Structures are given as structure tokens and as C-alpha cells.
């Protein structure tokens, strides 16, 4: 494939599984040296080894994105061992599907925000100076359609709306450092994050105009686009990768219902 990331060094969080693993794999195929990070160390080491077995340049490092000290140590390690950093993908995230506003416990709220939002904040804050010193680059944050519309899980939704805010603020601040900051907002993606909830997956599939979920690789291709020079004039932007759910989902359902009537009139 095209070596769109040749000579680049990329850090992907939450890279032991799902979308992060697919992004790390695709980045390595595109010529990057990839640092995979996660709290699931065995799976992360195995993922990095599998990328190396296919000829890629990949290394695993432990990182709990909610831990400030671990962020500092990892960025320092990359500064000395890899001599630079060009790309950060803030992908790590956890779900909380049952959390309506009246039954969310404070500890669950705090835990979720600390991973999904504070994790991205710490990542941008700690990595941006190194990306600047390495000649500039790109940061891609992982949001969700839960950050584009109203949603039934308050903490998860708040964390992903927060991703949009921090993306735009950081893009504004870091433009002078030669760093673009954008966010990708996946709809349903078939990963371990959702696969334990068969009813949720079915209901969301039924509401999606393309009537299917995405593969992790479909999301990774958009993240690669935002990470490489193909998107060199895009910053502060939200891209939904959701089979049409956000932009056409409401009227798609209306149209389907009307067209299902024998004497339909639009
Ligand atoms: N799967 C979906 O339908 C979907 C939809 C929209 C957005 N997302 C978002 O996509 C991102 C990736 O999720 P996925 O679908 O690949 O799920 P996944 O569960 O397969 O992967 C998430 C990874 O994050 C890691 N992780 C969890 N807590 C961490 C922490 N504190 N520090 C570092 N790593 C941590 C996990 O170990 C796991 O490897 C998440 O931000 C998620 O919110 C997922």
C-alpha cells in the first residue's frame, strides 16, 4: 500500500483491541513506526508482535491513559528512544451503556470521564510539545455518534461531546505548532466494546441507513486519512463514520415508513 506515513512515528492508545489495533496495523502498513499502548499488556504485546511478523515496525508500551505520571513517563521514553513523535491517536475508551442521568453513580461518571476525556486531554497536553519539536504532525481523537446527538448513557455521551470541545480548542492552540487536531466519530463498530450487548447491536443496526455496523478497518482508514498529509488542510473538524446514522438517519426512517404504505405520498 501507499507509504503515506513513511518516516513518521505514531502513538496509538487503546491499541490492544478493536479500532486501536486496526489503526496501529494500518499505520505500520503505511510505513510508520508505531507505538501501541494500552492497559491490556499481553494482548498489546501480541498485537505488536503480529505487526512485526508482517514486516511492520511496532512496539508495545503500557499506558493507562487516565494516569498523568504514566503519560509523562511514556512521552519521555519516546523522546529518548524514538527521537520524536509525529502522530497521536487518542483512541482508548470504555463504555457505560446503562447509565441514564438519574441512575449514574458518581464513581462510574468519574471513572468514565477520566479514561474517555481526561485521557485525551493528558495525551494532547503531554504529546504536543514533542510533536512540535519533531516538526509538527497530527492528533486524531476518537469520539462517537454519542457525541453528535442526544444519547441514553449520560457519562459516555458527555465524554464524547467533550472530545469535540477539546479537539476544537486544541486545534486552535496548536495550529501555530504545525499540529492538526481532528476527531473521528464512529457509529456502531464490531469490537469487544459492544459485542456483549446483542440487543443494542441489533437496535442500532436497524436504525442505521446502511443497515450494518462498521469493521475496525473502516474506521482506521479514516483515522489514517486524518493522520497523514492527505488531510493537510483540515483541522478542528469532526468526521462521522456511521453508515449515515447522524446525517440522514432520522428522515431515512421516515422515508422507509412512508414508502412501506400502499398509497404512499411524500
Ligand atoms: N465499538 C463501537 O461501536 C464504538 C462506537 C463509537 C466510538 N467508539 C470508541 O472507539 C474507541 C475504541 O473502542 P473499540 O470499539 O475499539 O473498543 P475495544 O474495547 O475493542 O478497545 C478499547 C481498548 O481501550 C483499552 N483501554 C480501556 N481503558 C484504558 C485505559 N484506561 N488506558 C488505556 N487503554 C485503555 C482497552 O484495553 C481496549 O484495548 C473508544 O474510544 C470507544 O469509545 C466505539
- Cβ of 186 closer than 6 Å to ligand 1, yes or no, is yes
217 within domain boundaries: yes
Q: How is 109-150 classified by DSSP, letter by letter?
A: HHHHHIIIIIHHHHHHHHHHHHHHHTT-EEEEEE--GGGTS-
Per-residue pLDDT tens digits for 92-124? 999 987 778 999 999 999 999 999 999 999 999
Q: Are 16 and 24 in contact (CB under 8 A)?
A: no
87 within domain boundaries: yes
Q: Cα of 105 to ligand 1 centre, how many Å?
A: 21
Q: Cα of 69 to ligand 1 centre, how many Å?
A: 21
3 within domain boundaries: no
159 within domain boundaries: yes
Q: How many CA atoms lie within 13 A of 76 on its CB side?
A: 6
- Which CATH number belongs to the domain containing residue 176 in this structure? 3.40.50.720
29 within domain boundaries: yes
233 is catalytic: no
115 within domain boundaries: yes
Range of the domain at 153: 9-259
The structural domain count of the chain equals: 1
4 within domain boundaries: no
2 within domain boundaries: no
Per-residue pLDDT tens digits for 233-259? 999 999 999 999 999 999 999 999 888
Amino acid at each position: 500500500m501507499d507509504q503515506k506515513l513513511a518516516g513518521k512515528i505514531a502513538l496509538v492508545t487503546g491499541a490492544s483491541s478493536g479500532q486501536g489495533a486496526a489503526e496501529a496495523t494500518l499505520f505500520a502498513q503505511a510505513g510508520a513506526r508505531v507505538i501501541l499502548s494500552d492497559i491490556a499488556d499481553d494482548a498489546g504485546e501480541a498485537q505488536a508482535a503480529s505487526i512485526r511478523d508482517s514486516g511492520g515496525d511496532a512496539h508495545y508500551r503500557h499506558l493507562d491513559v487516565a494516569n498523568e505520571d504514566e503519560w509523562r513517563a511514556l512521552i519521555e521514553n519516546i523522546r529518548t528512544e524514538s527521537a520524536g513523535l509525529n502522530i497521536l491517536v487518542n483512541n482508548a475508551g470504555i463504555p457505560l451503556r446503562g447509565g441514564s442521568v438519574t441512575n449514574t453513580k458518581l464513581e462510574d461518571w468519574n471513572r468514565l470521564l477520566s479514561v474517555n476525556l481526561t485521557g485525551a486531554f493528558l495525551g494532547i497536553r503531554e504529546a504536543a510539545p514533542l510533536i512540535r519539536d519533531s516538526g509538527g504532525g497530527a492528533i486524531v481523537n476518537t469520539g462517537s455518534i454519542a457525541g453528535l446527538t442526544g444519547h441514553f448513557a449520560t457519562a459516555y455521551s458527555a465524554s464524547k461531546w467533550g472530545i469535540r470541545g477539546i479537539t476544537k480548542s486544541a486545534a486552535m492552540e496548536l495550529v501555530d505548532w504545525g499540529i492538526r487536531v481532528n476527531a473521528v466519530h464512529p457509529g456502531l463498530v464490531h469490537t469487544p466494546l459492544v459485542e456483549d450487548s446483542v440487543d443494542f447491536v441489533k437496535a442500532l443496526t436497524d436504525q442505521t441507513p446502511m443497515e450494518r455496523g462498521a469493521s475496525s478497518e473502516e474506521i482506521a482508514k479514516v483515522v489514517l486519512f486524518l493522520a497523514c498529509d492527505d488531510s493537510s488542510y483540515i483541522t478542528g473538524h469532526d468526521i462521522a463514520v456511521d453508515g449515515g446514522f447522524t446525517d440522514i438517519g432520522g428522515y431515512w426512517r421516515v422515508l422507509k415508513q412512508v414508502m412501506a404504505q400502499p398509497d404512499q405520498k411524500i
